[in-house]
Structure 1
């Protein structure tokens, strides 16, 4: 009995294991890998949204590239007469230069000031810290139109009306609250121990910040700076209110001049819209990966 039992046990150990059915990989035809949702349920809404988004851009390119008086739905033959008209006759070259100055200056001023304020909120504790944060958040509920009259009086007393400096300062002040809050969240994600190690090695606070913290903030700074540039580039109210002469106007105000009381030159207006959109498209095309990294940096802490 004992021998038979031992022999049966030996056969059980040496017997080949039964084939195990392969686990479902999720790579079924027509289904996504992650959760088994059919792919058409994902791509169909995205395709409709993309179509809805791109139709206005195509319509703008159509009017900008097809000859005047044409009713074709395809821009053929392609013409550049509308671009030449707005750039030379409508002074869009000057508008473009002014908008670029305002956008770059607002980007630099907003980033530098927000970096200092965000570091103070992230690294220091002071009595009115919570109240200050609440004031920054509450300021986002104030429309920019309500700031026009007081800002106009301030710039008038400072003799800054009809100068690009007034628009740059106004844009910087308008964008600082949100920029400070965002950069503060980015800095909180950088461990204080990294700075402390630099202090032990003999670095001061400023040098440690520049050598240790600042390189890690690059995605956040790019995100904040890019939105500061785009907002300044597209903003209409401040430029319309503070700039009176044509040689000081920006692109949004220049586009408004193309709309007459009785008629609208659709070809010139579309060409001006394309010129206004090109820098924004280029900015987001080059910094897209930094934007995703920057805005996900504060998703865990902060």
Structure 2
């Protein structure tokens, strides 16, 4: 039994006339009659009552007609849904992200993707580096969005979306907040607050490396698990911290943010993915994000001096 035979059968059911059915199907009447007869032989029962004047459907033919209409409808839906999946327009896209990207232009990319692909469900999971990169590498998530100072995985693909500079967050009531700061090395004797070495060891390591490049080992007096905790500790007057510029509108009534100029520490907001068996939805997300590359970030870095 072939799908085309069932389509021939339905056309005859609709017209109840072999000649008209053949005309609709753009074929001769004799081949159509042959295909219907062949289908009846395969099924083992009659589909039509035929006389010289009329054609009518047998009870068995009516049952087959009704079920065939439903079956072909399901088949059509399956074909259409399969095409949507193949084109990356339907399904679940797993995205891991660093918390800092919520304050950047990346949120516009997420909104634009959702608008363009409304049938794709975004499953967002917050992760710290390097857990984020490990999850991408192991294909536990489809794509990652990370804020990186240095790339550390040779087997992963990175696509730059935007670049963030860094600032020094200083308690506003400190004398240091009123001073000009031209170099990170000028802060070598200051107490620093940083990320927890146990939970965010890559961020911790990147910070230590930046300080070592500036010629000193920082005096870390307190660590924290989250970005907002780091800023909260700065606001409490416990120390200063190196933070991305996208945070400079947070707690700015108690924190003074000074742009870091020497050295300028750039944080690359990048997509991270594994090319092995990349799904069409992830490819669509990567392609769309590429259109937003270097999209300016709306920030307001104020010098409190």
Compute the TM-score of the two structures, normalised by the length of structure 2: 0.21
Higher strand share: 2
Larger radius of gyration: 2
Compute the TM-score of the two structures, normalised by the length of structure 1: 0.21
Higher helix share: 1
Higher relative contact order (CA 8 A, sep 6+): 1
